[in-house]
Structure 1
Amino acid sequence: MNITRENIDALNAVLKVDIAKEDYSDSVEKILTDYRKTANIPGFRKGHVPMGMVKKQYGKAVLVDEVNKLLQESLNKYLTEEKLDVLGQPLPRPQDDINWDADNFSFEFELGLAPEFEVELESKTPIVQYHIVADDKMIDEQIERIQKQYGKLVSQDTVEKDSEITGVYKNEAQDIENTVTLTLDKFKDSETEKKFIGSKRGDSITLQTKGLYNDDHELMHALKLDHDAIHGLDIEVTFTISEINKRELADLDQDLFDKLFGEGTVKSATELKEKIKEDAEKQFVQQAEQKLLNDVTEFLVDNTKFDLPAQFLTKWMQTAGEKEMDATQAREEYEKSEKSLRYQLIEGKLITNNNIQVSMDDIRNHAREMIKEQMAQFGQLNPSDKELDDIAARILSNQEEARRISEQLVSQKLIALYKEKANLKVKEVTYENFVKEVYGDK
């Protein structure tokens, strides 16, 4: 067997694979001999079917199968030995006139080659690295939410601004009748709030659904309708009050601290604030790092210039997926995925150049830490090593889960690399301002 490569240009090549009879004849003969031993053909005892008859019946199919198998093995071996960095898979050039009665065969494959390029992490303009802090306003709001959650309900005669109101939304024509408990801050405007203030049990308030809540999901819950029914809904509903309560805030005492964090972990209101700030900022780290990863990714894709074998990749995409595409569909799919493909190549270069590796021990340890955090949320603060190892083993037996954790760890190592080598400018912001800057003031 002989494989030769013709480089068309820096990104495209053609492989020619010549297969001679001696490359496949032994394996074909062995398979046919085995067939002869087991063939069940009327008029002949098993194992005594003439070889000529076996070859006539099975020979062509066995030959085609063995040649194709040999082709695949030889291609994989060649690409590995030659250390060719290819994109997609080799594409066979169409051959409608293969003479399977011949002794020797020739096949040609198109290759898309990965481009040569360098990655420069240093941008001229610094990329913002957000450091999100929990400010006093956020901490105080969280403490108030906790006090409300653990506080007790006190019955009221009339609705006040901070009341919790239970009642029934109703519209007979639309077959709406749903009991909910609401607070006035969920409504979109102050006019709705004014309709409730001073109301008593048994009072009915007429409301328009359009613009009633800040969020359509609140309206879905309030009226117990699905998303399609809520979209653009503009009808009149009544809300009949059945119960009015005020939630008395829980005291910031040791009993509350122990319920929240375990006995003796927090011993004062000051320590409570510090704990809430610490926990909140841990949660913010992930969002800030995801933003950094996105921004550096965008910078690298926009500023790392190289060509791709676009024509080859478009042709490859026609048959690469579960469903075949025509040329137009493949071109559209390539245009949609080109940016992602460019980043995959850039990321691969960074991983290779900086020797970024994720070992099975890394994956296992990360799984253990995830499990410990989840168990802690349910009050299991000191799981044994055996418990952690057993649960981790079950999780990692799922290859998809193991792959997901591996990708997380690679992302973490890339973020560490960016923090070390990219041109970053640290910007400290509150979470509220982070949301405004990143997602817009919605």
Structure 2
Amino acid sequence: MRETEQTGKGKAMSEEQATEERPELEVVVEDNGPACKLLKIEIPESRIAAKIEETFGNLQSDAAIPGFRKGRAPRRLIEKRFGAGIRDDAKGHLLSEAYSQAIEENDLDVLGEPDVKDIENLELPEKGSLKFEVTVEVTPNVELPKFEDIKVTKTKSEVTDEDVEAEINKYAERFGKAATVTDATVAAGDFVKADVHIFPQDKAGDEEACITHLHDTYIMVNGENAEFKGHVGGILIDDLGKQLAGKKIGDTLTVKTDGPASHENDDIKDKPIAIEIKLNSVERLEPASMEEVVKNVGVESEEEFRTRLREMLESQKEREQKSDMYQQVNDQLVEKVDLELPEGLTSRQIERVLQRQRMELLYRGTTEQEIETKLAETRAESEEAATKQLKLFFIIDKASKDLEVEVGDNELNGQIAMIAMQQGRRPEKLRQEMQKRGELEQLYLQIREQKTLDKILESGAVIEEVEGEAKAAKKTTKKKASKKKASKKKAAAKKKDDA
């Protein structure tokens, strides 16, 4: 542990001001690991006595004692009846107030809940001060790199007629109707309604050992275009589409896998599990006609619809172009910034990472089904990937403050309106749902991140414009180089083991 960093009653105020404005308090702040502080707090006897007196006064004015009018009972009688409660109440207020004062006066940006050492055994002393210790995780210190050292490539892109036709097909599917198929085998693109049971792998089929049961849950059967990946209850299964293809109503499929490392259920997290899927029904999508699509979208003609689609795709291409540049900046920021996170923070922040990714996918115009698949993939990622996301959050937070980035209500409402248009929904309805799910804050953070990255790109980052094929070639070369590097490492490790 390093030397004490901060001591006393506050930075910005003199001792006289502190005495006038705040009750006396002694605080020592020490390092206690990566982005973690130990607060040693001492509440003096005078402050304890004043709080007990205040608590007693509040109780005396409200106490109803038989034989006495309200507020007229003698102190000795109230102390006899409520003495222990008065001290417990005063202790709670003192701890809370002292902690809040210590955090504010020492300018600590706390993450999560404080951990008060031995809180169960803390008692107010009859005489003298009360000393207690609190461990808190705080926002880590971030030293940003020079933005002119960041280099990105900008890919040129155009919207083709094929792109427009592909988008029309998506709209036809979106406004199509799912019809139940009774005598057919499951095929790519179908929706399967199934009863799903998840068991420990060594107790598959044992109803008493069932971890969770999902009744009549929908499963999308993905084909080659989605690499046959699918998810059941938020758990990604790489070849689910292949395993479901050819099955019929009434069939049961059992998939053995390992639970995602970031799953919220400890009985599934990193555990070998068996997922039993019993097919109850199969639904197949019947795409809507062009006339139905035009009517549902609310335009006058097919020509107007195609024009709007092209404009929307052009905007989407620009967003994808920007998104690619943002990713390049993010990768370099994470690589260039040395940052230690508080222990245990990663597991607690997985849900926030998932919400953040949801907002990003919504912003790109991704469908709900594709979003759920992507989120299932994220849950299956390693802790290292989640840690990278958290590091990036703190880096962007620091950069946004340094660059004075702000997000207004108009920007927030504008993004909601755009997402609503992409999903064919009403903005006010979408906003209500997002607010209920706690997603508005994530959308705010998403907009702030994009504005921050724009400022970084404008603040000296080197941008090279390349053709789409050239960029793809660069990625392929990089991928090959990575494989070659990995092969060398593997060979070196083998050589070492042989030695």
Provide the TM-score with structure 1 as the length reference. 0.56
C-alpha spacing 1:15/1:50, structure 2 compared with 1 (3 Å):
same
C-alpha spacing 1:55/1:318, structure 2 compared with 1 (3 Å):
farther
Higher relative contact order (CA 8 A, sep 6+): 1
Match of residue 405 from structure 2: 356
Match of residue 429 from structure 1: 468
1:413 correspondence with 2:451: yes
1:18 correspondence with 2:56: no
C-alpha spacing 1:75/1:258, structure 2 compared with 1 (3 Å):
closer
Amino acid at match of 1:5: V
Matching of residues 312-331 of structure 1 within 5 Å: 313-314=343-344
Give the counterpart of 1:305 among 312, 321, 338. Answer: 338
C-alpha spacing 1:280/1:112, structure 2 compared with 1 (3 Å):
closer
CA distance in structure 2 between the aligned counterparts of 1:127 and 1:278, rounded to whole angstroms: 26
1:77 correspondence with 2:110: no
Q: Secondary structure at the match of 1:64?
A: helix
Match of residue 315 from structure 2: 282
C-alpha spacing 1:318/1:364, structure 2 compared with 1 (3 Å):
closer
CA distance in structure 1 between the aligned counterparts of 2:294 and 2:385, rounded to whole angstroms: 53
Deviations 1:69-126 (A, max 9, x none): 2332233233323323455555433374745433531223345555544212647673
Q: Is the 8 A contact 2:333 2:392 kept in 1?
A: yes
Deviation at 1:396, TM superposition (A): 7.7
CA distance in structure 2 between the aligned counterparts of 1:428 and 1:228, rounded to whole angstroms: 49
More displaced stretch, 222-231 vs 131-140: 222-231
CA distance in structure 2 between the aligned counterparts of 1:37 and 1:125, rounded to whole angstroms: 66
Deviations 1:175-207 (A, max 9, x none): xx5258999x99xxxxxxxxxxxxxxxxxxxxx
Deviation at 1:305, TM superposition (A): 1.5
Matching of residues 27-426 of structure 1 within 5 Å: 27-36=51-60, 38-39=62-63, 49-88=73-112, 90-94=114-118, 96=121, 98=123, 100-112=125-137, 114-120=139-145, 122=147, 126-139=151-164, 178-179=183-184, 214=224, 215=228, 217=241, 220=244, 223=247, 225=249, 229=253, 262-263=299-300, 266=303, 272=306, 276-308=309-341, 310=342, 313-314=343-344, 338-371=387-420, 377=424, 394=432, 398=436, 400-421=438-459, 422-426=461-465
CA distance in structure 1 between the aligned counterparts of 2:422 and 2:180, rounded to whole angstroms: 39
Q: Secondary structure at the match of 2:131?
A: strand
Q: Secondary structure at the match of 1:229?
A: strand
Which structure 2 segments of 5+ residues have no match?
1-23, 174-178, 191-221, 229-239, 257-286, 351-381, 480-499
C-alpha spacing 1:56/1:336, structure 2 compared with 1 (3 Å):
farther
Q: Is the 8 A contact 2:55 2:90 kept in 1?
A: no
Match of residue 203 from structure 1: none
Deviation at 1:229, TM superposition (A): 2.3
C-alpha spacing 1:307/1:401, structure 2 compared with 1 (3 Å):
closer
Q: Secondary structure at the match of 1:108?
A: strand
Q: Secondary structure at the match of 1:133?
A: coil
Deviation at 1:349, TM superposition (A): 0.9
1:2 correspondence with 2:25: yes
Deviation at 1:412, TM superposition (A): 2.6
C-alpha spacing 1:89/1:220, structure 2 compared with 1 (3 Å):
closer
Match of residue 152 from structure 1: none
CA distance in structure 1 between the aligned counterparts of 2:249 and 2:112, rounded to whole angstroms: 47
Q: Is the 8 A contact 2:63 2:71 kept in 1?
A: yes
Q: Secondary structure at the match of 2:303?
A: coil
Q: Is the 8 A contact 1:129 1:425 kept in 2?
A: yes
Q: Secondary structure at the match of 1:5?
A: strand
Q: Secondary structure at the match of 1:16?
A: strand
Bigger radius of gyration among the two: 1
Match of residue 489 from structure 2: none
RMSD: 5.3
C-alpha spacing 1:73/1:320, structure 2 compared with 1 (3 Å):
farther
Deviation at 1:371, TM superposition (A): 4.7
Deviations 1:25-63 (A, max 9, x none): 344334334434554567777656543242233223332
Q: Is the 8 A contact 1:220 1:230 kept in 2?
A: no
Q: Is the 8 A contact 1:11 1:112 kept in 2?
A: yes
More displaced stretch, 127-136 vs 59-68: 127-136
Q: Is the 8 A contact 2:172 2:293 kept in 1?
A: no
Which structure 1 segments of 5+ residues have no match?
150-165, 169-176, 187-211, 233-246, 322-332, 381-387
Q: Secondary structure at the match of 1:356?
A: coil
Deviation at 1:293, TM superposition (A): 3.3
Give % identity.
Answer: 17
Amino acid at match of 1:355: E
Aligned residues: 335
